[in-house]
Copies of this chain bind each other. A is one copy, B any other.
Amino acid sequence: MNREPVMTTDLLDRVRAFVHTELMDKASYFDALPEQPTIESVRLHEAGLANWWIPARYGGRGVSLEDGVDIVSELAYGDAGFAFGSFLPILGTTMLQLYGEESLAGPLLRKLARDGGVLGILGSEEEAGSELGRTATVFARSGDDLVVTGDKYFSTNSDAAEALLVLARSADDDGDFAVIAVPRDTPGVEIVKRWDVIGVRGSATYQVRLRGCVVPAGNRLRGNGLRNLEIGLNASRILIAATAIGIARRIRDLSMEYAAGKRVKGVPLTDNAVFAGKLGQIEMLIDVMRNQCRAAAAEFDRLMAAPDPAAVMYRAGTLRSALAAKMYCGQAGWQVATIGSEMFGGLGYTHDHPIGKLVRDMRYVGIVEGGDDVIRDLLYTRYVVPAGKRR
């Protein structure tokens, strides 16, 4: 019952050292749209930290998702965009690990563990937006192969990815959705453009076109693609939420730095009661965000540790705690960002101060992988309407 809630301090220290050396105070560099993979991604791998969650049986470090929350918080303290690009492959590796044929998943996961690198997830489309059930990308059987065609809207890491995990609908059966692994170098895969996003610019997100991409039938993951994706999203949503922790911690620390050198009404700003109240509120929000993320991650870890995690997770689908973490951290993070954006006076309204970037980065948490309306609807439909699931 009583467990120590911290991972090997050693690993977290290495993450912090990496952040300190490679990520801090590079706002304008990351804002200037670096090529992917960035040199920092390479360094992350050299530090033995890339794709830290891949299980030991694939040669990975096998860090639990609960500990991953702290790692992401540290990375996002340095740069949220870099953090996002670094952990997002977990969305794909989770699906592969649970629902991919060993012949597909094994080599891919081993490669990601050994060489670093990323996966791209091709879910969203222009028309469908968040409604994945309206996916228009199709796949068709052709002998032992599948042929995939469609247009995908927002997809992070795709250009540099080993493989793209594409959500598509069967050309023959409107209700049959599949997640299909398409190697990046498959003929017919075309990067249409890189999106010029307003924040998290330490990552790269693309619009992608697929035209008659042929892959072996074994590249389809087992089960319904919508469900596969829900399950992968459990992991990535929790880590997106954890991004907000890191950004909020950075805002807190920048506030304390600023206050140390500032006097208001004749006393140091650190002695000002209104300032103290704001920082007290931020500290509370940070603690609650962390505990929600850790609790959601612990639930995910428990399901993954079950004797048959693929079946258990497939039954569970999208987890209440993961939805709550994503939505809560989006809201609490925005509260912190709002306080922060007013904290530094006129200076905070210039590019001479990092707060503007932190506010833009924070905005992402509430938007990516389901805005609040979408998450509220999922929570209501899955966990409030069925009275037996309420708790």
Chain A residues packing against B (C-beta within 8 Å): 1-5, 64, 66, 124, 129-131, 153-154, 195-199, 249, 252-253, 256, 262, 264-265, 270, 272-274, 276-277, 279-285, 287-288, 290-292, 294-296, 298-299, 301-302, 305, 320-321, 323-324, 327-328, 334, 338, 341-342, 345-346, 348-352, 356, 359-360, 363-364, 366-368, 371-373, 375-381, 383-385, 387, 390-391
Residues of B within 8 A of A280 (CB): 375-380, 384
Beyond the given pairs A283-B383, A284-B328, A341-B363, 18 more chain A to chain B contacts, judged by CB atoms under 8 angstroms and listed by A's residue number, are A1-B64, A5-B295, A129-B345, A131-B264, A197-B349, A198-B350, A274-B373, A276-B380, A283-B320, A283-B379, A284-B323, A284-B379, A287-B292, A288-B324, A288-B328, A291-B296, A342-B371, A348-B367
Return the 6 tightest CB-CB contacts between A and B, nearest first. A280-B376, A291-B295, A287-B324, A280-B379, A198-B356, A280-B380
Residues of B within 8 A of A272 (CB): 273
Tell whether, in the assembled complex, residue B384 and residue A283 are in contact, meaning their CB atoms are under 8 Å apart: yes
Tell whether, in the assembled complex, residue B292 and residue A288 are in contact, meaning their CB atoms are under 8 Å apart: yes
Given the contacts A198-B351, A276-B381, A327-B284, A367 and B346 also touching, CB distance less than 8 Å: yes
Tell whether, in the assembled complex, residue A256 and residue B387 are in contact, meaning their CB atoms are under 8 Å apart: yes
Cross-interface CB contact of A276 among B1, B302, B377, B390, cutoff 8 Å: B377
Highest count of chain B CB atoms <10 Å: which of A130, A249, A256, A264 = A264
Tell whether, in the assembled complex, residue A196 and residue B376 are in contact, meaning their CB atoms are under 8 Å apart: no
Residues of B within 8 A of A282 (CB): 384
Can you list 26 A-B pairs, Cβ within 8 angstroms, ordered by A?
A2-B305, A3-B3, A3-B302, A124-B346, A131-B264, A196-B352, A197-B349, A197-B350, A197-B351, A198-B350, A198-B356, A199-B349, A252-B384, A270-B385, A276-B380, A276-B381, A283-B320, A284-B327, A284-B328, A284-B375, A291-B321, A295-B295, A341-B363, A342-B372, A346-B367, A346-B368
Tell whether, in the assembled complex, residue B384 and residue A363 are in contact, meaning their CB atoms are under 8 Å apart: no
The binding surface of chain A is classed by DSSP as: helix
Measured between alpha carbons, how far is A213 from B161 in the docked complex, in Å?
62
Q: How far is the CB of A308 from chain B (nearest CB, A)?
A: 15
Tell whether, in the assembled complex, residue A367 and residue B345 are in contact, meaning their CB atoms are under 8 Å apart: yes
Residues of B within 8 A of A277 (CB): 274, 373, 376-377, 380
Tell whether, in the assembled complex, residue B320 and residue A376 are in contact, meaning their CB atoms are under 8 Å apart: no
Cross-interface CB contact of A283 among B273, B287, B305, B380, cutoff 8 Å: B380
Residues of B within 8 A of A334 (CB): 338
Measured between alpha carbons, how far is A195 from B348 in the docked complex, in Å?
11
Cross-interface CB contact of A364 among B197, B321, B349, B375, cutoff 8 Å: B349
Cross-interface CB contact of A390 among B252, B346, B373, B375, cutoff 8 Å: B252
Highest count of chain B CB atoms <10 Å: which of A305, A350, A375, A391 = A391
Q: How far is the CB of A67 from chain B (nearest CB, A)?
A: 9
Measured between alpha carbons, how far is A323 from B349 in the docked complex, in Å?
21
Residues of B within 8 A of A291 (CB): 291-292, 295-296, 321
